[in-house]
Amino acid sequence: MTRTSAIYNLWSGLLFGLGMVAFIDEVLFHQLLHWHHFYDKSTTDVGLVSDGLFHAFSWFSTIASLFMLAGLRKNHSFWLKRWLGGVFLGAGVFQLYDGVVQHKLMRIHQIRYVENVAVYDWIWGVVAVSMIILGSFLTLQTRRGSI
Amino acid sequence: MMLLLVTVVTIMLYCWCGIRTSQSARLRNWPISRYALFAAGICSISVALSFHAQSHHNFQVHMFVHLLLGMLAPLLLVLSAPITLLLRTLPVSFARFLTRLLKLRFVSFVTHPFVAMLLNFGGLWILYQTILFEWMHTFSIVNVAVHVHLFTAGFVFTSSVLYIDPVPHRFSFRFRALVMILGFTLHSILSKIIYSASLPGVPIADAKQGAVFMYYGGDLIDACLIGAFCFQWYRKSMVHVPLNESLSNT
Residue B248 — very low, low, confident or very high, per pLDDT cuts 50/70/90?
very low
Q: Label residue B249 by pLDDT band (50, 70, 90).
A: very low
Task: Write out pLDDT tens, residues A100-129.
Answer: 777 777 777 777 777 777 777 888 888 888
Vertex A93, ends A85 and B181: CA angle to 5°? 100
Q: Do A70 and B241 touch (CB under 8 A)?
A: no
pLDDT reported for residue B239 = 63
Query: Which of B151 and A4 is assigned the larger pLDDT?
Result: B151
Average pLDDT over every residue of B139-155 = 93
The predicted pLDDT at position A146 comes to 52
DSSP states of B22-50: HTSTTSPPPPHHHHHHHHHHHHHHHHHHH
Q: Nearest by CB to A67, which of B223, B230, B242?
A: B230
- Answer yes or no: are the C-beta atoms of A147 and A1 closer than 8 Å: yes
For chain B, the structural domain boundaries read 2-93+101-236
Return the pLDDT at B250.
34
Residue A147 pLDDT class (50, 70, 90 cuts): very low
pLDDT of residue A4: 79
Task: State which residue of chain A sits closest to B183, comparing Cα positions.
Answer: A56
HEC sequence for A69-117: HHHHHHCCCCCHHHHHHHHHHHHHHHHHHHHHHHHHHCCCCCCCCCCCH
Q: Find which of B186, B244, B247 to mutate to test the A interface (most A CBs within 10 Å of its CB).
A: B244
**pLDDT over threshold 90, residue B180:** yes
Cβ neighbours, 10 Å, residue B247:
14
Q: How far apart are the C-alpha atoms of A23 and A30, rounded to whole Å? A: 10
**Over residues A93-98, mean pLDDT:** 88
In angstroms, the CA A133 to CA B210 distance is: 42
Tell me, what's the pLDDT at B240? Answer: 58
Shortest distance, CA B73 to any CA of chain A (angstroms): 21
Q: Report d(CA B165, CA B123) in Å as an integer.
A: 24
CB atoms within 10 A of CB B249: 7
pLDDT in tens, B47-90: 999 998 888 788 999 999 999 999 999 999 999 999 999 999 99
Complex ipTM = 0.83
E strand or H helix that includes residue B112: none
Which string of DSSP letters, residue by residue, matches B204-241? HHHHHHHHHHHHHHHHHHHHHHHHHHHHHHHHHHTTTS
> Which pLDDT band, with edges at 50, 70 and 90, does B138 fall under?
confident
pLDDT at B199: 83
Q: Decide: helix, strand or coil at residue A18.
A: helix
CA-based diameter of chain A, in Å? 52
A11/chain B closest Cα distance in angstroms: 14
Which residues, in sequence order, are CB contacts of A12 under 8 Å at separation 6+?
A65, A68, A69, A72, A83, A86
Q: How far apart are the first and last CA of chain B?
A: 67
Report the 10 Å Cβ neighbour count for A79.
23
Instruction: Tell me the pLDDT of chain B averaged across its residues.
Output: 90
